Amino acid sequence: MHVAIVQRTTGDRRKERRFPMRGAIEMRATGIDVLIRATLEDLSATGCRVSTRVPLRMTHPVRIELPRPGRPPLRVTGNVVRARGLVADRVYHYGVLFRLDNGEMRDDVRSYVSFYASKFARIRNGADRRSSVSGVDVKLQVEISIPQNGRFTAIAVALRTNGMRIASDRVLRQEWPMKIDLRLGSVIPGESPIVTVRANALPGARRVRGQYVQDVEFCELPLRVQSAIEHFIHDIAVNGGGR
């Protein structure tokens, strides 16, 4: 039997517009020494909704890092004001109210929401998964790892925020869970220029000039990696390489 847990404090309904996000983030919580892997489900200028398998109590203090392309992440603290979950599934959904102690922090969060959150929402709501929304033509060497099939090199010929088009010497099977390493470069000192994405192949491989060209879609993409890909695409588009 599925038993729902619902708790909330009074006055926890956000008046600001919420934008759906759906990206993996890392979160810290007071009293828990390890980083918590969570999914950011929506974001507004005053709070957010996250899901995780880690149980938290009401009013639990947390810190969330919101990635910004080409810049250090925006660190926001807050408290759990709403909790909902299925005991059988051990997936908990939390509403977090931000603690914005000064005008600069409030402005930073509002700017983040108005630019990044609204952009992510437009991409998701208006795009077919094969479309070229926010896409550019590229020629990037990528490393693909497939369990039981080893590791091989391919060429990404188009890159989108939700996937890419790959040219290789083999047909990528839909049932293969793939990890793909992309070298995007980095403008943040100490940050690796290589990002790793999980991806699934889409049907429709075609033979072009002796190679197979096929689309793949990203899955469970961390918000940090989404931001890095978007920043890379933006730089190419500004320099005249976009489509």
Query: Position of tokens 């490393």?
Result: 143
| CATH code, 136-238 | 2.40.10.220
Q: Give residue 183's pLDDT.
A: 87
Select from 139, 159, 227 the least CA-distant residue to 199.
159
SS3 label, residue 219: strand
CA angle 28, 30, 33 (to 5 degrees): 65
Question: What pTM value is reported for the model?
Answer: 0.60
Report CA-CA distances (Å) from 232 to 84, 162, 199, 235. Answer: 37, 13, 18, 5
Beta bridge partners of 166: 156, 214
Q: Give residue 119's pLDDT.
A: 61
Q: Give residue 139's pLDDT.
A: 92
- Quote the CATH superfamily of domain 4-126: predicted glycosyltransferase like domains (2.40.10.220)
Instruction: For the chain, give every domain's residue range.
Output: 4-126, 136-238
Q: Give residue 191's pLDDT.
A: 63
Q: Give residue 225's pLDDT.
A: 84
> pLDDT digit of tens for each residue in the chain (243 aa)?
343 455 665 555 667 888 888 788 889 999 999 999 898 999 999 999 999 999 999 999 999 998 876 678 899 999 999 998 876 778 899 999 999 999 999 999 998 888 777 665 554 544 433 333 457 899 999 999 998 889 999 999 999 888 999 999 999 999 999 999 998 865 455 567 788 999 999 999 999 999 999 999 998 788 878 777 877 887 787 675 444
Residue 39: CA atoms inside 13 Å, Cβ hemisphere, count? 14
Q: Give residue 243's pLDDT.
A: 43
Q: What letter does residue 212 receive in the DSSP assignment?
A: E
Q: What letter does residue 242 receive in the DSSP assignment?
A: B
